[in-house]
Structure formats: C-alpha cells, structure tokens
C-alpha cells in the first residue's frame, strides 16, 4: 500500500503548470500592448507572469505616463484575447496534471486552482479541460495577487483547511513560488515545463523542482 499523502489541500497554478501555454498568455499581452501602443517587452512581460493582470496593465500605463484607471478595461481585452485564442487552440492538460488531479481527489485531498487570471476566465479554462476542483481562485477575488499569499489563503478558507503545513502548491513562475512560501505551505513545487527553468524556481524558494507533474504523487507522500 502506498503511504498517505502529507497534504489535505493542493493548489495548482493554471497556465504553464497544469494547462499548456504555447505562448497564449504572451500573445494576449501583445495583442493589447500593440493595440494601445504600450511599451511591454518580452522580458518585461515574462517577469510579470502569474501576476494579477489589472496590476500588470496598471504598471504598463504608469510607465507610459498614462492614466492607470484604464487598466481594468485592458485586462478585459486581455481576457477576450485569451478566449479567442482558446477557441482556435483548445486548452490541453500538461503532462501529469490530469493524473495528479485524479489521484489526489481519489485519496480525499482537496484540490484548487489559483491564477493571475480573473476568476471567470479561470473557471472557463478549467471547464474546457473538464476538471472539477474544490475551489478556483482568480486574482480578482483577493486584495493582493501574487507574490502575496492571498489566493492560497482564500483557497484554504474555501476548502476548510486551516493548517498551511498540510497544504501544497505548484507553479511555473517565481511569483507562484513566492506566494507558496509566503503562505507557509509545506510543499512549494516548481515545474519547468512552463515559463522558467529549474535554477529560477529553486532560487525563488521551491521546496521541490520537477520537470512535470508526473512525480508529484511521490513528493506529496514524502518519497522524494
């Protein structure tokens, strides 16, 4: 018999962690940036992956000496660009994601998603993939997005898990890792099939770095 999981809740990121990002997020940023002539370089965008999109556009507007009040409208345009992209290229689970979701759920571990997307966009992506987590937390539901721990703490509240030492998170960006560390999670797993490499995720404070989610079950049983 396999040893029990050492978590009561596991919180996954979406794009680049559990759902393939073949450049979809970057393309959506570029659509909005080009339309509104915002200076957003590829590296600038990469450094803000995982952030609340309203905050990203507010910063871009501020750096362009323009009114930040337009950020929510730009974030809505970003959402529409993502939806259009998904219509053309349906979202696909990444290696190990479906197995992790099914395995954790079957063992009674609660699952949640947190994301820099709005909650409504996150719900639509997860609906299209066909998963049924216990909670979906968008960055628009909390006062502070990543790297703050607010989304993880809201996921804990909604699933009835109070002890962060019984919580794990997985993400593909340093902001995912920073949020997990700030929340005090026992497992903060970085995956390298997304935006950043192993060194970046380890430097950010990941407790474990994996090439994909196929090894997650062993990690959560304390086997590696």
212 and 122 fall within a common domain: yes
104 and 196 fall within a common domain: yes
Of the residues 88, 119, 138, which one is the last residue of a structural domain? 88
- Does 195 score more than 90 pLDDT? no
Confidence of residue 1 (pLDDT cuts 50, 70, 90): low
pLDDT at residue 55 in the model? 95
97 and 139 fall within a common domain: yes
User: Is residue 107 domain-resident?
Assistant: yes
72 and 129 fall within a common domain: no
User: Is residue 1 domain-resident?
Assistant: no
Of 184, 162, 50, 178, which Cα lies nearest the Cα of 110? Answer: 162
202 and 120 fall within a common domain: yes
pTM: 0.91
Of the residues 32, 59, 88, which one is the last residue of a structural domain? 88
- In contact, 170 and 152? CB cutoff 8 Å: no
Q: Determine the structural domain holding residue 71 and report its residue range.
A: 24-88
48 and 97 fall within a common domain: no
216 and 132 fall within a common domain: yes
User: Is residue 201 domain-resident?
Assistant: yes
- Does 223 score more than 80 pLDDT? no
31 and 64 fall within a common domain: yes
100 and 138 fall within a common domain: yes
Over residues 181-207, mean pLDDT:
97
d(CA 117, CA 113): 11
User: Is residue 210 domain-resident?
Assistant: yes
- In contact, 186 and 164? CB cutoff 8 Å: yes
Confidence of residue 198 (pLDDT cuts 50, 70, 90): very high
Residues pairing with 167 in the sheet: 9
- Does 172 score more than 90 pLDDT? yes
Helix, strand and coil percent figures for the chain, each rounded to 5: 50, 15, 35
User: Is residue 189 domain-resident?
Assistant: yes
Domain containing residue 206: CATH number: 3.40.50.1000
175 and 104 fall within a common domain: yes
User: Is residue 196 domain-resident?
Assistant: yes
User: Is residue 3 domain-resident?
Assistant: no
Going by C-beta distance under 8 Å and a sequence separation of 6 or more, which residues neighbour residue 33?
39, 40, 60
70 and 104 fall within a common domain: no
Number of separate domains in the chain: 2
**pLDDT tens-digit profile of 114-167?**
999 999 999 999 999 999 999 999 999 999 999 999 999 999 999 999 999 999
User: Is residue 4 domain-resident?
Assistant: no
Domain containing residue 54: CATH number: 1.10.150
155 and 213 fall within a common domain: yes
């Amino acid at each position: 018999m396999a040893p029990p999981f050492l978590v009561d809740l596991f919180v996954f990121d979406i794009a680049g962690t559990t759902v393939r990002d073949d450049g979809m997020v970057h393309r959506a940023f570029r659509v909005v940036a080009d339309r509104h002539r915002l200076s957003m370089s590829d590296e600038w965008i990469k450094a803000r992956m995982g952030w609340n999109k309203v905050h990203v556009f507010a910063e871009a507007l501020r750096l362009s000496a323009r009114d930040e009040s337009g950020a929510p409208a730009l974030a809505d345009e970003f959402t529409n660009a993502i939806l259009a992209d998904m219509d053309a290229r349906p979202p696909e689970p990444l290696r190990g994601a479906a197995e992790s979701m099914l395995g954790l759920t079957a063992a009674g571990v609660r699952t949640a998603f947190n994301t820099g997307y709005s909650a409504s966009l996150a719900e639509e992506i997860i609906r299209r993939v066909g998963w049924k987590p216990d909670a979906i937390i968008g960055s628009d539901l909390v006062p502070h997005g990543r790297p703050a721990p607010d989304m993880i703490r809201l996921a804990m509240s909604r699933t009835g898990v109070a002890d962060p030492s019984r919580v794990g998170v997985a993400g593909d960006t340093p902001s995912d890792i920073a949020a997990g560390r700030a929340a005090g999670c026992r497992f903060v797993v970085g995956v390298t099939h997304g935006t950043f490499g192993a060194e970046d995720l380890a430097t950010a404070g990941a407790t474990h770095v994996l090439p994909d989610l196929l090894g997650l079950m062993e990690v959560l049983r304390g086997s590696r």
